[in-house]
Structure 1
Amino acid sequence: MATLTEGVRLIQSKYEGSSKRMVCATFFACIGALSFGYTIGYSSPAIPSMLKARVLEEKDVGWFGSLMTIGALAGGPFGGWCIEKFGRRKSILLSSLPFIFGWLAIVYATDSKLLFQGRFATGFASGMVTVCIPIYLAEISTKSMRGVLGSCMQLCITVGIFWVYTAGLKLEWQSMASVAIIPAVLQFVAVYFLPETPQWLLSKGRKADALKALKAIRDPHQDVQEECRDIDEGFDHNEEFSWSEFRKSELMQPLIICSAVLAFQQFSGINAVMFYTVSIFQTAIPNHAHIATVIIGGVQVVATVVACFLMDRAGRRKLLIGAGIVMTITLLLFGQYYRLLASESLTSSLKTWFPVICLTFYMIGFSLGWGPIPMLLMSEIFPSRARGAASAIAMFVSWLTSFFVTNEFMTMQNMFGASGTFNMFGFSCLLSVIFVWRYVPETKGKSLEDIELYFLGKSIIKV
């Protein structure tokens, strides 16, 4: 058995090289995801401090929160254009600039105007990051490591959220914004140590540079000629990408699948549950509400670490389906909880522990599947020639859906109540499970070229 295991390792080393360089490149690239996570979580602990300092009025709270989403709606398409025009590496570098500007604007803000500008800028950078980093990670990874390395982006997002929640226990809004400048600057510096992806270099006809890039992220003794040839065979250098290609089934089909999965991610109710986290804990365990919120952030991190290891073992489809079922059950239980709470039918023990347990299992389910996989799937299923444009469209759909859910959440509450709103999110999760089971192919262990051939009808992948 030991001999067989050693043989497998030797074969993997021969054809895929050492993972150390890929992991190092992934770490540097994902610093931007850390900034993105910090941006997502910032408003929750910062807004009470801003209101107290009177730099933000109560009527402007909703705008401050939603401006990040509006900025991301513009940043996503811009990032898609940049990765084709300037390359994946330089696009990640460019995304650090609006992060730096945005956080500096918030640090020096004396009124809501500069706060809004800073929030929009960090949202714009976040939109860029959600396009640039997943594609970069997918293109530098080997097929056996793509799942775990691609999941590292979501891991860094959850670490960023946990970081800002923890910082919010002690720091005021300006100090928290000052801390956020650190990863933004580190991202700008770290990009200089990253190689460009071989796919982008080959698409520009730069084969010699592509070989150097492969050598930089593979084992130094590995012969990368064969891998470079396999990638290059997927390009038609005489054909320019045209937007009219989206009429073709091989591009329209993955675009619909990816856009639907990203939309289902937003309709899973994640923003609503995050919005309710503090209020749930204030109702259940009022003396420890803020600390419990930080613990939930820690649960997200741990569950996402587990997802990283499961991604290339269990596969994308099984994790999405399993996580979707868990989220469906917990959201429907949430709906029942708020119905009983409104009718004052809950015992004191149920009122204390029931929502906490439901919330914990919901966050575990989301972190195992619907958190990391949609963006990973986006980076995998689009053909190389259209990866930037298609990813920009898919992320625009994602951020537009996020904006709709965030801004209409209060309207849904007024119309259907908390119980009805959570029931709607639960049924949406159920629909997402059916959609994945019926339409989403399993990409575990498949090369990007094999996935492209599948949508051309020339390769067999399980659905």
Structure 2
Amino acid sequence: MFSIVGMFRGTTPQLIAVFFSTIGAISDGMHYGWSAPFLPVLEGENSPVTISHSDVTWLETIYLIGGLAGLPVTIFCVDKLGRKASILLAAAVSLVAWILIAVANNVWYIYVARFMTGLSGDVAFVAAPMYIAEIADKNIRGFLAGTIYVMMLVGILVVYAVAPYAPFYVSSIIGAGFVIIQLVVFPFMPDSPYYLLSKNKYDKAKEHLKRLRSSGNVDKEMEEIAGAVKRQRSERGRPQDLVINKGNRKALVIMIVLNAAQHFSSISVMLMNLHSILKEAESTYISSEIAGILFSALMLIAATIADVICDKFGRKALLISSSLLSGISLLVLAVYFTLKNTGYDVKDLSWIPIAAVLIYAAVFKFGLGIIPIVMTAELFPAKVKAMGMTLADFSYLLFGLISVELYQKLSDAFYLDLPFYIFSASTLLTAMFSWLYIPETKGRTLDEIQFILKGEPVPERKPSSQLEKVENGIEDKDITLTHISKSDTSQDDVPVK
């Protein structure tokens, strides 16, 4: 029987390194969810910083604009400075941003801070997954790759729990605390052997790999890494290959649509405006502050479960069911606001918007909120993976910006029901798109996925590995599943977003 303890045996150095490489993501999550609990505070009578109504929109969009500006910075940093140095640079920028927010007596301090955090978050969410993929043992790589997203959701929960009940500067102190821990401890963690070897630092790469492995003999793994680095240098794809090649073109369409679908299912709007949305709903059952805490807690739980079971139930099933249920939840919310706006007495129905957003939190993160992240690394072949993932990252930020702008404009010009009708329709269409166009990648190697994307027959696999022999019923008394996992058939690729 598969042993969880066996899977993690001898991986303590990796677990420690991954923890300190991602602890800054708690701070990034706090920045991402910052506007939802703080904008009502800043618009209140006792606001520490005077803001206008137009500032509300800009304080949300400037964060996403900073993320777009961070794309070329990210590409430069991870290659020239390295993954570890890029993580530390992002942490330093985040720390400066928290200081600016804490001492702000003018809205321009917060503008600058929000732009900086968008930029630093983009760098961190590219550099950290790359670092994790390059230090992790293949048996736990999938689990470790999801750590950064769990940390981000922890950050959202923290800011939702603290901001409404503490002075303005307290959240900055907490966020800065996580970043300071990272800046103090992470420099002592091992660097990526892949990156060091790519810079022709063989002895240093071997030394750092030994620190990450419980076994002192890493010669064989060093040979594998050297071969991978050599192959990656030779496999430089052209930008036009993303469009000319049928499989790459389909992968690009899938990722752009899924990244658009995530935001047009209202996730950024929800995270940045949840408290004001629930205040407008005028629910008398629980406060918007408590609902915000429950919202972020449900997302955290759902994302953790989905990360564990997506290899068992498949990406497509989770994506379709999540999109359908998210669309229905948003439709219910839109109908409630329509009733309220037309003068209908919704006092006895004020529990509905609370229930709708909490159900949305759970069902969104159970599929639509996590599967696009998983599929990003599966769909693009190695030679165009960097370009494909960069375009996917760009589309993620761009559609986030568009969705927030659309919500603000439509809710001001009409009412909250119209944008949520649009978000609901978009999410339901995503379910249809997923059913008709997206292939199931569960249990497929990266090479097999490329055949599927091209519409070509998948070559029959021979049970060459131990895991395949066990799965196909070939008896081998010396084989146990204690140290074997699905990741034995995967490559060193993890998602960016």
Q: TM-score range by the shorter chain?
A: 0.7 to 0.9
Q: CA deviation at 1:315?
A: 3.3
The aligned runs of 1:39-118 (5 Å cut-off) are 39-51=31-43, 52-53=46-47, 55-59=49-53, 60-118=55-113
1:307 and 2:301 correspond:
no
Using the alignment, how far apart are the partners of 2:82 and 2:457 within structure 1?
29
- Greater shift, 130-139 or 71-80, is seen at 130-139
Please give the alpha-carbon distance, in whole angstroms, between the structure 2 residues aligned to 1:188 and 1:383: 34
Kept in 2, the 8 Å contact 1:158–1:297? The answer is yes
The separation in 2 between residues aligned to 1:148 and 1:285, in whole angstroms, is 40
- Aligned partner of 2:361 among 349, 354, 363: 363
- 1:191: which partner in 2? 186
| CA displacement, residues 185-237 of structure 1 (integer Å, 9 cap, x when unaligned) | 22223432443445445555656655555544444267672685288358154
Q: What is the aligned partner in structure 2 of residue 24 from structure 1?
A: 16
Q: Is the 8 A contact 1:83 1:91 kept in 2?
A: yes
Write the distance in 2 (CA, Å) between the matches of 1:413 and 1:388: 38
Preserved contact between residue 263 and residue 403 of structure 2 (Cα < 8 Å): yes
The answer as to 2:223 corresponding to 1:225 is no
Q: Distance in 1 between matches of 2:385 and 2:424?
A: 32
How far apart, in 2, do the equivalents of 1:214 and 1:322 lie?
41
1:164 aligns with 2:159: yes
State the match for 2:146 in structure 1: 151
Range with greater deviation from structure 2 (199-208 or 394-403)? 199-208
C-alpha distance in 2, partners of 1:102/1:133?
20
**Runs (5+) with no aligned partner, structure 2:** 461-497
Distance 1:143 1:354, change over 3 A: farther
Q: Which residue of 2 aligns with 1:321?
A: 320
Q: Which residue of 2 aligns with 1:254?
A: 251
1 CA distance for matches of 2:459 and 2:207? 32
CA contact (8 A) 2:322 2:363 kept: yes
Q: Deviations over 1:275-310 (max 9, x none)?
A: 244442561126633222222222222222222322
Q: State, as a whole percentage, how many aligned pairs show the same letter.
A: 26
The alpha-carbon deviation at position 132 of structure 1 amounts to 2.2
**Among residues 214, 221, 231, which one is paired with 1:235 in the alignment?**
231
1:72 Cα deviation after fit: 0.9
Q: What secondary structure is seen at the aligned counterpart in 2 of 1:284?
A: coil
d(CA) in 2 for partners of 1:207 and 1:455? Answer: 37
Report the alpha carbon displacement of residue 125 of structure 1 after superposing the two structures with TM: 0.7
> Is 1:120 the counterpart of 2:122 in the alignment?
no
Deviation string for 1:158-182 (max 9, x for gaps)? 1101111111133222232232211
Partner Cα distance (2:207, 2:440) in 1: 31
Alignment of 1:375-386 (within 5 A): 375-386=373-384
Match of 2:336 in 1: 337
Partners of 1:173 and 1:458 lie apart in 2 by 59
Q: How many angstroms apart in 1 are the aligned matches of 2:314 and 2:451?
A: 19
Distance in 2, matches of 1:10 and 1:114, equals: 48
Q: Within the alignment, does 1:428 sit opposite 2:426 as a pair? A: yes
The answer as to whether partners of 1:259 and 1:395 remain within 8 angstroms in 2 is: no
Cα separation, partners in 2 of 1:55 and 1:10, compared to 1, 3 Å: closer
2:405 partner amino acid: N
Matched residue of 1:47: which SS? Answer: helix
Contact 2:376 2:389 in 1 (8 A): yes
The alpha-carbon distance between structure 1 residues 23 and 263, as it changes in their structure 2 partners (threshold 3 A), is farther
> How far apart, CA to CA, are the structure 2 residues paired with 1:94 and 1:460?
45
Q: What secondary structure sits across from 1:173 in the alignment? A: coil
TM-score normalised by length of structure 1: 0.84
Native 8 Å contact 1:143 1:445 kept in 2: no
- Alignment of 1:35 with 2:31, yes or no, is no
CA distance in 2, matches of 1:12, 1:412: 54
Contact 1:261-1:374 within 8 A present in 2 as well: yes
Partner AA of 1:261 in structure 2 = L
- 2 CA distance for matches of 1:221 and 1:90? 26
Tell me how far apart the structure 2 counterparts of residues 194 and 390 of structure 1 sit (CA, whole Å): 30
- Alpha-carbon spacing, 1:133–1:237, altered in 2? closer, same or farther (3 Å): closer
- Deviating more after overlay: 119-128 vs 446-455: 446-455
Tell whether the 8 Å contact from 1:135 to 1:379 is kept in structure 2 after alignment.
no
Name the aligned partner's letter for residue 288 of structure 2: A
Aligned residue-pair number: 453
Range with greater deviation from structure 2 (63-72 or 53-62): 53-62
Does the Cα contact within 8 Å between 2:38 and 2:164 map onto a contact in 1?
Answer: no
- Secondary structure in structure 2 of the residue aligned to 1:370: coil
Q: Match of 1:393?
A: 391
Counterpart-to-counterpart distance in 1, 2:276 and 2:85: 39
1:157, CA displacement in angstroms?
1.3
Amino acid at match of 2:268: N
Tell me, in whole angstroms, the C-alpha distance in 2 between the residues paired with 1:323 and 1:17: 34
Q: What is the distance in 2 between the residues matched to 1:311 and 1:222?
A: 34
After TM superposition, give the deviation of residue 392 of structure 1 in Å. 2.6
- Report which stretch shifted further, 312-321 or 134-143: 134-143
What RMSD, in angstroms, separates the aligned Cα atoms of the two structures?
A: 3.5
| Aligned mates of 2:136, 2:433 — CA distance in 1 | 27
Distance 2:274 2:99 in 1: 29
Q: How far did 1:401 drift? A: 0.8
* Cα deviations by residue, 1:307-334 (Å, 9 ceiling, x for unpaired): 2322333333332222112102211222
C-alpha distance in 2 between matches for 1:168 and 1:434: 39
2:101–2:169 CA contact under 8 A, matched in 1? yes
Q: 1:439 to 1:136 in 2, by over 3 A?
A: farther
Q: Is the 8 A contact 2:48 2:168 kept in 1?
A: no
Q: CA deviation at 1:266?
A: 0.8
Could you tell me how far 1:251 is from its partner in structure 2?
4.5
Q: Is the 8 A contact 1:149 1:308 kept in 2?
A: no
8 Å CA contact 1:320–1:370 kept in 2: the answer is: yes
Query: In 2 relative to 1, CA 444–77 (structure 1 residues): closer, same or farther, beyond 3 Å?
Result: farther
Residues 209 and 218 in structure 2, CA contact (< 8 A), matched pair in contact too: no
Structure having the higher helix fraction is 1
